[in-house]
Amino acid sequence: MDSSSYLIELHHLSRRFGPVEALREVTLQLPPGRIGLLGPNGAGKSTLLKILMGLLPPTSGSGRVLNQPIGASTFGLEAAVQLRRLIGFMPEADALVPGMRGVDYVAFAGELYGLPRKHAQRRAHEVLTYLELEEARYRRVEEYSTGMKQRVKLAQALIHDPPLLLLDEPTSGLDPAGRDAMLRLLLELGRDHGKSMLLCTHLLADVETVCEQVVIVYQGQIRGQGSVRDLCARRHDRYRLQLQGDLAVYREELQLEGVKILHDNGQGDWRVQVPEGWVTRAFFALAENHQVIVRGLQRDDESLEEMFLRIIRKDSSA
């Protein structure tokens, strides 16, 4: 891939706050698309976002976002303005201006991005209608529900039609229905309208729903990067079994075949992890040999959360 066609390209980027190294030698090349940025609190996600928005210069290293350079030497006003015009940022905090009506708030954001006032007003109506806030647009933003606040924050990030959206915990505080609606909107924006997005979250399910690519940050370093599909393929296959009969021998036989018993409630309900290439028929074949009846069999794959923790733990112990 040509270097100019990357969405984000970072080379040995580090950022130090006194003795604390928030980012360490981060090297990253991400193509346009929907990207999830995962990591626990204090992993360095926020520092990375600040650097990508041109709000904070890196201590060392260089990079480009949408072909705009980021780095100490290019940290002038003009460079920062150019960069931030290409980015729509949805902060995690409420970031609302109390007393303003929804439509005025979004139009105001447009003017801050540099849109002419009339364009900003017209565009605010369009974006709010698209985000299904047309009926609430004349209400004051502080009267909005959490879901509406999240959508109006997304509206202000979309007002200038940026190619890249930086979304900081966009589903934070939402109920399940609101969360689904928000994720559907984000997916639609990315898939149908070609918006690239960097979804910064600790909710893996959000990344799984919306993103194609995922970057895992931990202790200021990139611990994993790849497509969500590949990451999911690294999941361990797991099953829930409900059994009846002489389970001691059956257990030994399964373990000899490489099956790990993760949980046993002592009443025949097991949770097992199977090796690669395992076929479910083997459960029944072994059971038949040992007079065990398989009363229930259900897939119970490792969740993304569990997998994420496993990857991090493995890296830490290494």
Partner 1 sequence: MPPPSQEMLLKYRPWRGSFHGPSRAVWAIARVALGQMVHRKMFWSMYGLSLMIFLFFFFGQYLMFWLDTQISSQTFSGGSLFRNVPTQGLITFLKRGAQLDGSAQTFGNFIWFEGFIVVIVLAFVGSVIVGNDFHYGSLPFFLSKPITRWHYVAGKCLAVALFVNLMTTLPAIVLWVQYGLIDDFEYFIDNFHLLLGILGYGLILTVTLSLLLLATATWLRRTVPMVMVWMALFVLSRSIGRGLVDGMRFDPRWRLIDLWNDMYLIGHWIWGTPHQQLRPLSQAQPEYWQAAVVVVALWACCVVYLHRRIQAVEVVS
Site track for partner 1 across 151-180, x = CB under 8 A: -----x-x-xx------x------------
Which residues between 86 and 115 bind partner 1 (CB under 8 A)? 89, 91-100, 104, 108-109, 111-115
Cα gap 1→258, rounded to integer Å: 41
CA 195-201-207 angle, 5° bins: 60
**Is 116 in a helix, a strand, or coil?**
coil
Measured CA to CA, the distance from residue 70 to residue 295 in angstroms comes to 60
By CB under 8 A, is residue 144 in contact with partner 1? no
Q: Which of 20, 81, 261, 285 binds partner 1 (CB under 8 A)?
A: 81
Q: What are phi and psi of 189, to 5 degrees?
A: -60, -40
20 touches partner 1 (CB under 8 A): no
Which lies closer to partner 1 via its Cβ, residue 15 or residue 238? 15
> Using the rule CB under 8 A, which residue among 10, 26, 35, 56 binds partner 1?
56
Under the criterion CB under 8 A, does residue 135 sit at the interface with partner 1?
no
> Smallest Cα–Cα separation from 307: which of 252, 233, 247?
233
Cα dihedral 173/176/178/182 (nearest 10): 90
User: What are phi and psi for residue 90, nearest 5 degrees?
Assistant: -110, 105
Return the number of the residue (108 or 250) whose C-beta is nearest partner 1: 108
**Which residues bind to partner 1, rule: CB under 8 A?**
46, 49-50, 53, 55-56, 77, 80-85, 89, 91-100, 104, 108-109, 111-117, 119, 123, 126, 129-130, 132, 134, 156, 158, 160-161, 168, 188-189, 192-193
